[in-house]
């Protein structure tokens, strides 16, 4: 679940595109190919809820390990069952 706290975001999920401003909420089904982007003129903030728990450790691991290559990012994200798709696949999201 993504809740926009500040700013304006676009979300793509299962072929749909949704734009949300502060207070807007979108729920992404587990395993769905999705992406999001701040499309506003200001810094945005999101609150993200992921269940089951465990994924939240990804952000701390990125900060601690600072992976510097796509391969290092893929290896780190795999530990959290996260898979980044190539940019061209974004059109399918």
Q: How far apart are CA 88 and CA 37, in angstroms?
A: 15
Q: Which residues contact 6 (CB under 8 A, 6 or more apart)?
A: 22, 42, 43, 44, 45
Q: Please state the pTM of the whole predicted model.
A: 0.76
pLDDT at position 45 is 97
In this prediction, residue 7 has a pLDDT band, given cuts at 50, 70 and 90, of: very high
Residue-wise pLDDT for 25-74, tens only, equals 999 998 888 999 999 999 999 999 988 888 889 989 999 999 999 899 99
Average pLDDT (63-88) is 87
pLDDT tops 60 at residue 92: no
pLDDT tops 70 at residue 90: no
């Amino acid at each position: 679940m993504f809740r926009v706290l500040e700013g304006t975001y676009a979300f793509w999920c299962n072929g749909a595109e949704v734009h949300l401003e502060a207070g807007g909420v979108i729920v992404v089904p587990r395993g769905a190919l999705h992406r999001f982007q701040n499309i506003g003129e200001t810094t945005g903030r999101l609150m993200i809820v992921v269940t089951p728990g465990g994924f939240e450790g990804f952000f701390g691991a990125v900060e601690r390990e600072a992976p510097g290559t796509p391969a290092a990012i893929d290896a780190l994200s795999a530990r959290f069952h996260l898979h980044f798709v190539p940019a061209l696949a974004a059109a399918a999201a």
